[in-house]
Structure 1
Amino acid sequence: MTQDLIAELEAQEAELELTRFDNADAWRLGSLLVELASQRSLPVAIDIRRGAQQLFHAALAGSVADNDRWIERKVRVVERYGASSFLVGRRLAAKGQELDAGMGVDPADYAAHGGAFPIRIRDVGVVAVVTVSGLPQAEDHALVVEALRAFRP
């Protein structure tokens, strides 16, 4: 089961590779996520950033400041490992490991929980991170994947 999930998550990352992504695309993707979450009354925060620059942020009804802290922690995982925070977490779990000081990171600053997904450009690599926080980790991840499947720059 775990290996099947890991394979599915890896396939999602390959499938959702883009050919371009700019600030206007970040706005469109973020707005799409807000629309999907609002239609379902989901209490989430949504974030898209490129490095230190936040390109999009929204905190929907029911989300809390702690969601922003989770976003920061999940984003660091994607930036460090070049894969979705959910995939990193599942890979670690499959090995019986956790993201901790033994891996050279402080768990207060990193969270290998679903919801942060790399924006990867073909032949370039990861250029940004899109994140949802506020739901159980598999649901955060699934909402991002749904939006990316519907989004085409």
Structure 2
Amino acid sequence: MTTAVTELIPRLEADEARLVLDRFGNDDAWRLGLTLTELAQERDAAVTIGIRRVNQRLFHRALPGTTPDNDAWIDRKCRVVLHYEESSLLVGARFRAKGRTFETASRLDPRRYAAHGGAFPLRLRGTGVIGAVAVSGLAQEADHALVVEGLERFLGRS
């Protein structure tokens, strides 16, 4: 296990413990999506943003410079979040910490699942994971950081 991974895992776990929602409905998905859109536009980031509640797409925005590949990445990363109930970056880091790759050790079809950063669980206090929010278009840790910053702003913590 590399030092970078051992330092990354506790930080990612802390993000997830801190960013728990008291409620999350369709209007909240719209507000979070707009928050992420504003953050991306402030940075001139060509990203696609997706928010879903289990099997229902609640928000989708493809900013200029993105492609259908970004949609596919969002779908694959969100499947990881919904399967493991942890962020896609954390799932990938846990596999790397054990000296394995997600693609070979998870037994999940890599054409449908991607443990790359950028998808984060929508976790309701007292309920658990009810969906996922994802960004695709940047390097995986930058995708993850954008989602975290968006959730912090949405929750009024930034």
- The TM-score bracket by the shorter chain reads over 0.9
Q: Give, in whole Å, the separation in 2 of the partners of 1:45 and 1:23.
A: 19
What is the TM-score of this pair, normalised by structure 2? Answer: 0.93
**Runs of 4+ residues deviating >4 angstroms:** none
Q: In the alignment, residue 31 of structure 1 is paired with which amino acid?
A: L
Q: Give, in whole Å, the separation in 2 of the partners of 1:102 and 1:16.
A: 28
Q: Is the 8 A contact 1:99 1:110 kept in 2?
A: no
Match of 1:31 in 2: 34
Q: Is the 8 A contact 1:117 1:131 kept in 2?
A: yes
Match of 1:45 in 2: 48
1:97-144 alpha-carbon deviations (Å, 9 max, x no partner):
122354221111110000000010111000110000000000000000
Match of 2:108 in 1: 105
> Helix, strand or coil for the counterpart of 1:47?
strand
Shift of 1:152: 2.2
Q: Is the 8 A contact 1:114 1:140 kept in 2?
A: yes
Using the aligned pairs only, state the percent identity: 56
Gap runs ≥5 in structure 1: none
**Quick check: 1:151 aligned with 2:154?**
yes
- Counting matched residue pairs gives 153
**Quick check: 1:127 aligned with 2:126?**
no
What is the TM-score of this pair, normalised by structure 1? Answer: 0.96
